[in-house]
Chains A and B, each alone.
Chain A
Amino acid sequence: MKQKIRDILAKHGGLPVPVDTLADDADLYAAGLSSFASVQVMLGIEEAFDVEFPDNLLNRKSFQSIAAITRAVEGLTGSAEAAE
Chain B
Amino acid sequence: MTMTVGTSLAERAQRVSAVAAVHADDVDAKGRFPREAVDAMIAERLLSIQIPAALGGEDCSLSEIAEACSLIGQSCSAAAMVFAMHHIKLSSLVSHGAGDTWHSAFMRRVSDEQLLLASATTEGGIGGNLRNSICAIEIDGDTCRLTKDATVISYGAHADAILITSRAHADAASTDQVMTVFTKDQYTLEQTHVWDTLGMRGTCSDGWLFKGEAPKEQILPKPFAEIAAQSMLATSHLLWSAVWYGIAVNAVSRAQAFVRAAARKSPGVTPPGALRLAEASNLLQLVKSNTIAGLREYEAAKADPDRLSSMGFAVAMNNVKIASSETILAIINQAMLIVGIMGYKNGTPFSIGRHLRDAHSAQLMISNDRILGNTSNLLLVHKQDTSLIG
Contact = CB atoms under 8 A, between A and B. Distances in A.
Contacts of A43: 380-381
10 contacts: A17-B173, A30-B173, A32-B176, A34-B131, A42-B380, A43-B381, A55-B312, A59-B309, A61-B306, A61-B309
Interface string A1-28: 0000000000000011100000000000
- Scoring A16, A32, A39, A61 by chain B CB atoms within 10 A of each residue's CB, the highest score goes to A39
B61 interface: no
A34 B229 CA distance: 12
Nearest to A55: B312
A12 B223 CA distance: 23
A63 to B, nearest CB: 11
A33 B175 CA distance: 7
Interface of B: 131, 168, 172-176, 223, 225-226, 229, 306-307, 309-312, 374, 377-378, 380-383
A32 B312 contact: no
Contacts of B229: 60
B225 A60 contact: yes
B310 A58 contact: yes
* Top 6 closest pairs, chain A to chain B, by CB: A32-B173, A58-B311, A59-B310, A60-B309, A30-B176, A42-B381
A42 B312 CA distance: 15
A40 to B, nearest CB: 8
B173 A53 contact: no
Contacts of B176: 29-32
A79 interface: no
A12 B56 CA distance: 48
Contacts of A61: 306, 309
Given A30-B173, A58-B382, 7 more contacts: A30-B172, A30-B223, A31-B173, A32-B173, A58-B381, A59-B309, A60-B229
A75 B383 CA distance: 19
B390 to A, nearest CB: 12
Contact of A32 (B174, B374, B381, B383): B174
A54 B380 CA distance: 12
A34 B174 CA distance: 9
B226 A60 contact: yes
A16 B173 contact: yes
B381 A53 contact: yes
Nearest to B229: A60
A83 B60 CA distance: 49
A30 to B, nearest CB: 5
B309 to A, nearest CB: 4
Contact of A29 (B223, B312, B378): B223
A55 to B, nearest CB: 5
Nearest to A46: B381
Contacts of B380: 39, 42-43
A77 B307 CA distance: 23
A59 B381 contact: no
